[in-house]
Amino acid sequence: MIWRAVLLLALLALAAVYVVWFVEHEPSPAVELVVFALPPLLLALGVWRHRRRAGFWAGVLALAWFSHAVMVAYTRPPERGYALIALALAVAIVFAASLPGLRARFGRRRG
């Protein structure tokens, strides 16, 4: 169940990155925080409470977070560091969310 711990920590770290990023770079970050920081926090709560769909939705939303991070890293050099951290965390979220399904599909068969 290490994938659950990795997923939980990556979601919490991503929310923290977004909070620091938007508080530092936006004059009034309320909307950005609701759109970017709240979903990883809610998904982390779902993962912590062993909700099966939380991992799925974390993987789906991580694709959007990945795309956003690539766009920002490419177009806004002052924010590139935050974007690259968010990009790495989004990749970690996708892999951690996908690991149970990959193990079920490609793992060793018993019996």
The pLDDT tens digits of the residues spanning 13-40 come to 999 999 999 999 888 889 989 999 999 9
Burial of 65 (0-12, 13-18, 19+ CB in 10 A): buried
- What is the number of domains present in the chain? 1
Domain assignment of residue 84, yes or no:
yes
Residue 22 falls within a domain, yes or no? no
Domain extent, residue 93, equals 2-17+30-106
Q: In this structure, are residues 89 and 61 in contact, taking their beta carbons and an 8 Å threshold?
A: no
Res 111 pLDDT > 70:
no
Total-model pTM:
0.91
pLDDT at 26: 81
Kindly state the average pLDDT of the residues 88-110: 89
On whether residue 80 sits in a domain, the answer given is: yes
| CA atoms within 13 A of residue 76's CA, in its CB half-sphere | 14
Residue 102 has pLDDT above 90, yes or no: no
The verdict on residue 62 lying in a domain is yes
33-69 residue pLDDT tens: 999 999 999 999 999 999 989 999 999 999 999 999 9
First to last CA, the chain: 23
Distance CA 39, CA 17 (A): 13
